[in-house]
Every structure is written in C-alpha cells, then in structure tokens.
Amino acid sequence: MKNRQKLKKHLKTALKVLVTIGAIYYVLSSLDLDELLVTLKSADIFWLILAFAAFNISKIISSVRLNYYFKILSIKMSEFENLRLYYMGMFYNLFLPGGISGDGYKVYLLHKRFDSPYKGLLQATLLDRISGLSALLFFAGILFVFSSFSALSPLLQPVAIIGVILVLPVTYYMTKVMFERFLPVFGPTTLYAFGVQAMQLVAALCIVLSLTSTPDMVDYLTLFLISSVIAVLPISIGGIGVRELTFLYGFELIGGDVNSAVSFSMLFFIITAVSSMIGAAVKVDASEMDDAKRNVV
C-alpha cells in the first residue's frame, strides 16, 4: 500500500514536470526569442523593485488572514512566527514539488506542536484558498468587463457581471454550510483577501509599467488574474508554463503583443521565485514551533 502511494505521488510529480516543460517549450517555440530577450532586458528595474515590494506586502497580508483561521482553532502564534511559516510554505510549494507540499508541512507542524486535529487544519488551509480565490474572481470579473476580451463574445460581459454579483454570496454560503466554525471571521478574512488581491494587482501594474511596450493595461491585469486562477490548478510546478501559455493564447486572441505579454509573465515568476527563496532562509522546524508555543501561551 505504501509503495503504491509513493508510486502515485512520483507519477503525479512526473506529470507536473512534463506539463511544465511542455508548456514552456511550446511558448518559447511560438515566440521571437531575440525580441523576447530584448523586452526582458529593457525592463525598468525601478518598477520591478516596486513590484517586488507590492508582491511581498500581499503575502504579509495573506499570512495575517490565515492566522485568523488558526485562532479559531485555538492556535496562538505571533504574526511574525506565522509569517515565517507562510514563507516556508511558499518555498516548499515552488521549489520542492516532489516532496511534502508547503501547506502539508504547515499542517503537520501545527498538528504536532499545538495538538490541533488535522481536520480543522485542513479546513482552515482550504478555506484560506477559497477566500483568496473569491476575491481574485471578483476583481477579474470587474476588469474583464472593461477589457478587450469581453468583445470576443456578446455573452462574456453579462456572465462576468453575474459572476461578480454572485461570488461573495456563494463564498459566504459555502463557508456557512461547509466551514461553519470559521463563519465568525468571514468578514475580516474577506477584507484581507481583497487587500491581498489589490496588492497583487499593484505588483502586476508595476511590472506592466516596467516594460517599454505597454498596450491597454486593463488587458494585462485581466489576463494576470485569469492566469492566477489557472495557475492554482495542480497541473504544473508552481504554475510555471501554464501562466505563460495563458498570456500567449490570451494576447493572440485580441491581437496583442505576445512577446511583451510573455515577458510580463516571466518577470512575475522571477519576482515570485525570489520572494519564495526567503522561505529557505527562515525555515521553521518542530523545535522552534515549541518555542513559539511557549512564547504566546
């Protein structure tokens, strides 16, 4: 049984690697690589630094949101310790896809050190993802209405508007039915989720401004949010490749500059990767979790 589970895990990892490599190969083979390199090299470092700062502010807000769920489970950690744990999870998710995921390791540590049941920890982790996704879909729907993509079909704009109207009520209903114990923090966690996505949009906007060729910014930001939804799917390593593929196809549909679009996606990945490396420097182990528990109890 154990061998079968290990084989299944290895096969899933191998499939993710193949999808990632295949997507990257297809994207690069569809572009003018010389023009792509010129676009990347010409990016304004000032705007990229601001993008890096905005991205990491979004992660700080996200860690605070997650701690609200942990407090419901009577897990008392300082915001600093929780932030360290959050960055460690980012590092695991991006750089160690074949081993235990960042979320899995966090759940393991918190279960071991705070005697919190796995079920509640898994629910908190899942609800944290759902909360972020709902805010992401809300912003994506609004931007989509004003983007060039809405002109591709007369049905797309009304569907986006309906989605914007329904996303928060549906999220509230899901929380009430499936995660009732976390309902008391629905308000603040939703506000933090909006703050996270707002800062992600600021980061994306700064990357757009760093590029020399910047068509309609609304199209960039819309596709950025759509690609973020697709990147959440567990089909590649850290969303690498599928995000670039989304930008390639998206800008081909509206006749945009695909080289600048893919350059934007690559720059966002670089910022994500560099930020995730912080998790390697602040890795939390079981003994430190003991210290954290003693300090806050």
Range of the structural domain that residue 190 is part of = 2-296
**pLDDT of 292 higher than 50:** no
Identity of the highest mean pLDDT range in 13-22, 164-173, 214-223, 256-265: 164-173
Give the confidence band of 140 by pLDDT, cuts at 50, 70, 90.
Answer: very high
Query: What's the whole-model pTM score?
Result: 0.85
Task: Report the domain count for the chain.
Answer: 1
pLDDT at 77: 87
Phi, psi of 10 (to 5 degrees): -65, -40
Q: Which pLDDT tens digit goes with each residue over 147-177?
A: 989 988 899 999 999 999 999 999 999 999 9
The amino acid present at 101, given as its one-letter code, is: S
SS3 57: helix
Contacts of 115 (CB under 8 A, 6+ apart): none
pLDDT at 13: 65
DSSP annotation of 237? S
Distance CA 32, CA 27 (A): 10
pLDDT at 26: 65
Residue at token pair 């990632």: 20
Contacts of 155 (CB under 8 A, 6+ apart): none
pLDDT at 234: 66
Contact (CB, 8 A) for 110 and 75: yes
Identity of the highest mean pLDDT range in 46-55, 150-159, 270-279: 46-55
Distance CA 59, CA 31 (A): 32
